[in-house]
Amino acid sequence: MTSPPFPRERGGPGITNADPRDPGLLRSQENIWGSRAAEMAAIFMVGDGLIGLLQPRRHVDLWKDDALGTEKLVKPFVGRPGRRRLYAIVQIAAGLALAARQRR
């Protein structure tokens, strides 16, 4: 019997050594939370960027008053939808670049 073209996870017919403590597996599991956090940040950046690109005035208006400190962050965009759209393009590109760097 020939072996399949791709190795199977957790073995298959003909496996002779099934050591569950493979150091390669443990190493990849250790970094999972960092990868998840980076992925969540990328998703937030892309989503927020899309909303800012498509609805810049509404999006800025939502965060400009009584928003737990975000008023200072959106102040440069109040009354300037073009500036918000430009920032949105940068935000989307950065989010996509961050997601593309993830290996797991």
Q: If pLDDT is split at 50, 70 and 90, which confidence band does 51 have?
A: very high
pLDDT mean over 22-43: 76
Q: What are phi and psi of 5, to 5 degrees?
A: -65, -25
Provide the residue ranges of all domains of the chain, joining segments of one domain with +.
55-104
Q: Give me the chain's average pLDDT, please.
A: 83
pLDDT mean over 43-69: 93
Q: Count CB atoms within 10 A of the CB of residue 12.
A: 10
Q: What is the pLDDT of residue 12?
A: 60
pLDDT mean over 79-91: 97
**pTM for this predicted structure:** 0.67
